[in-house]
Amino acid sequence: MRIDYSPDSLGAGAFYRLLTAVVVPRPIAWVSTLTADGRTANLAPHSFFTVACTDPPIVQFTSVGRKDSLRNAEETGEFVVNVAPEPLFEQINDTATDFPREEGEFDAVGIEREPSLRVKPPRVAASPVALECRLHATLGLGNSTVVFGRVVHAAVHEDVLVDGHPDVRQLRPLSRLGKNEWGTIGEIRDLARIPYHDRRKG
């Protein structure tokens, strides 16, 4: 037996909690941006995040409401997606505090930064991967804005490379689950996709 839920009768808040409990696990973009005057470096986790296009490479994150990350990305046309690794668990959560815009999370939380190569917002020094992005487009949807960024540079720490390729066991990415739950990498299984041609042979 299934229990039925309708967005209209449940209401937006409760349906949001249902959606975030079932669309799991979600990767976390730890988004760094700069204010237009270049003075304040902002950092915040966004789990409504994925690859939007492979050629050209475009990633997307969603701002629910108009937050500092969104406003900075719109005003400067740049942002960096830092991978959110397990050892930085509590620091990542600390950057989700609603600090005022003039109080950047890098300084407020004490996160070490390093310069990016192709864009002005800094990278998180301890994050194993940074995707440097130029704003491609934004799409307003109801109470949210989807932010698309063209990846103009990827900086990957050599420690997470195995045979020249980023390895998930080294990256140790965190994920967002429902409520205040977070996930870590569990069992990893390998299974190749089966071409139709091979199925017909059997």
Ligand X SMILES: Cc1cc2nc3c(=O)[nH]c(=O)nc-3n(C[C@H](O)[C@H](O)[C@H](O)COP(=O)(O)O)c2cc1C
Q: Which of 15, 5, 21 is nearest to 142 (CA)?
A: 15
Query: In the complex with ligand X, which residue's Cβ is closer, 139 or 162?
Result: 139
User: What is the SS3 assignment for 179?
Assistant: coil
Return d(Cα 187, Cα 150) in angstroms, integer.
32
30 binds ligand X (CB under 6 A): no
Among 121, 118, 119, 99, residue whose Cα is nearest residue 108: 99
* 78 binds ligand X, rule: CB under 6 A: no
CB of residue 130 to ligand X, shortest distance in Å: 17
Q: Quickly list DSSP for 68-117.
A: HHHHHHHHHSEEEEEE-BGGGHHHHHHTTS---TTS-HIIIII--EE--S
By the rule CB under 6 A, 98 interacts with ligand X: yes
Residue 76 as a binder of ligand X (CB under 6 A): the answer is no
60 lies in the site for ligand X, by CB under 6 A: no
CB of 32 to ligand X, least distance (A): 10
Q: Which of 32, 35, 40, 63 binds ligand X (CB under 6 A)?
A: 63
DSSP state of 32: E
Cross-strand bridge partners of residue 138: 147
Give the integer Cα–Cα distance in Å for 66 and 88: 26
Shortest distance, position 156 Cβ to ligand X, whole Å: 22
Exactly one of 32, 40, 69, 116 binds ligand X (CB under 6 A); which one?
Answer: 69
Count of positions on this chain that bind ligand X (CB under 6 A): 17
79 near ligand X, judged by CB under 6 A: no
Question: Measured from the CB of residue 62, what is the shortest distance to ligand X in angstroms?
Answer: 5
Please name which of 156, 171, 78, 74 lies closest in space to residue 122, comparing C-alpha atoms.
78
Q: Which stretch binds ligand X (CB under 6 A): 63-71, 111-119, 132-140, 147-155?
A: 63-71
Residue 49, beta-bridge partner list: 61
Shorter beta-carbon distance to ligand X: residue 93 or 138: 93
Q: Which parts of this chain interact with ligand X (CB under 6 A)?
A: 28, 42, 44-48, 62-64, 67-69, 93, 96, 98, 176
